[in-house]
């Protein structure tokens, strides 16, 4: 059967959230929508496979025998996708109204658009910054971590990473959107070889968008529709997440996030700067990793 849209959901150990996500997709689906829904399970220790099979028998299940991470897991789903447009969706999200249909029509109606995303909100109604970003150049990253982007949110010079100088309530092209909700033309994805498996968890969506733009594709942000994202439900690094995450998982997530920063910098910016400056940046990334690990350990000590 030929579908208009393939929806790929990569899941790890968030069974209840995944069930809610799938239900929201079916609630949003209209009679004329031809959607292929694929769930890739990254060897979850919970009852994901059994529950999805029982409650949503039409969902195509792909079972991995180990946790492949975000990139490799999604690439596994791409192999099963039959449609010319693919939506990558996190399991800790809830679809609202007709956002998928509107994004689909916009994407296929514009030849220059390679990918599109919507407004992604956290449960408290605030914006998930990951859905609307610039690229983390050394300058943009410096402004973000030292607080200049918060002090001058409307300045393109200081808020290049958060892209808060752009009107979040009006549609426009953007450098980078989130992998939690990313709709892409399959042809564009084929051009870049899909997700870069040098990234295990975190940063892969920035790499994905960077390579799309290298190929000349535009990425479109459309705030007319939205989803809800319980961000951090698998990693434990965000208060918006649901469920309990172990200390070891939080530590692994923190390390993966910093590793992604290092990988992206080495791939795209390292050779652009003098040797001395390169060393300062790599030292800063290492210092950030130490800070995050100390913070996690301290939180668990105060809890005990």
The yes-or-no verdict on residue 295 having pLDDT over 60 is yes
Regarding predicted confidence, which is higher, 293 or 150?
150
pLDDT per residue as tens digits for the range 76-132: 999 999 999 999 999 999 998 899 999 999 999 999 999 999 999 999 999 999 999
pLDDT at 203: 86
pLDDT at 231: 78
The structural domain count of the chain equals 1
Residue 41 resides in a domain: no
Residue 233 resides in a domain: no
Residue 257 resides in a domain: yes
Residue 207 resides in a domain: no
Residue 302 resides in a domain: yes
Point out which residues pair with 133 in neighbouring strands.
176
pLDDT at 75: 97
Return d(Cα 58, Cα 55) in angstroms, integer: 9
The yes-or-no verdict on residue 286 having pLDDT over 80 is no
pLDDT at 53: 94
Average the pLDDT over 263-270 and give the result: 86
Instruction: Give the domain range for residue 300.
Output: 242-304
pLDDT per residue as tens digits for the range 162-182: 999 999 999 999 999 999 999
What are the residues whose beta carbons fall under 8 Å from the beta carbon of 273, sequence distance 6 or more?
A: 138, 281
The yes-or-no verdict on residue 238 having pLDDT over 60 is no
Residue 285 resides in a domain: yes
């Amino acid at each position: 059967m030929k579908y208009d849209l393939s929806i790929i959901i990569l899941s790890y150990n968030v069974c209840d959230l995944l069930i809610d996500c799938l239900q929201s997709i079916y609630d949003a689906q209209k009679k004329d929508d031809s959607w292929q829904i694929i769930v890739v399970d990254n060897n979850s220790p919970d009852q994901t496979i059994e529950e999805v099979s029982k409650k949503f028998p039409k969902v195509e299940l792909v079972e991995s025998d180990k946790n492949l991470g975000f990139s490799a897991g999604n690439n596994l789903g791409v192999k099963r996708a039959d449609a010319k447009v693919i939506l990558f969706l996190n399991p800790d999200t809830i679809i609202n109204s007709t956002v998928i249909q509107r994004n689909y029509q916009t994407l296929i109606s514009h030849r220059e658009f390679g990918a599109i995303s919507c407004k992604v909100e956290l449960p408290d109604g605030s914006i998930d910054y990951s859905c609307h970003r610039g690229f983390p150049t050394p300058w943009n990253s410096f402004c973000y971590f030292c607080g200049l982007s918060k002090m001058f949110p409307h300045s393109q010079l200081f808020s290049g990473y958060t892209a808060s100088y752009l009107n979040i309530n009006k549609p426009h092209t953007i450098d980078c959107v989130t992998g939690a909700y990313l709709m892409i033309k399959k042809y564009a994805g084929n051009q870049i070889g899909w997700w870069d498996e040098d990234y295990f968890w975190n940063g892969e969506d920035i790499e994905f968008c960077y390579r799309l733009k290298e190929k000349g594709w535009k990425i479109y942000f459309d705030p007319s529709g939205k989803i809800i994202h319980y961000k951090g439900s698998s990693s434990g690094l965000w208060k918006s997440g649901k469920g309990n995450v172990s200390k070891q998982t939080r530590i692994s997530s923190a390390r993966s996030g910093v590793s992604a920063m290092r990988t992206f910098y080495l791939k795209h910016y390292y050779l652009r700067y003098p040797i001395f400056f390169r060393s300062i940046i790599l030292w800063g990334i290492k210092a950030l990793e130490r800070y995050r690990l100390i913070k996690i350990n301290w939180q668990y000590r105060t809890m005990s």
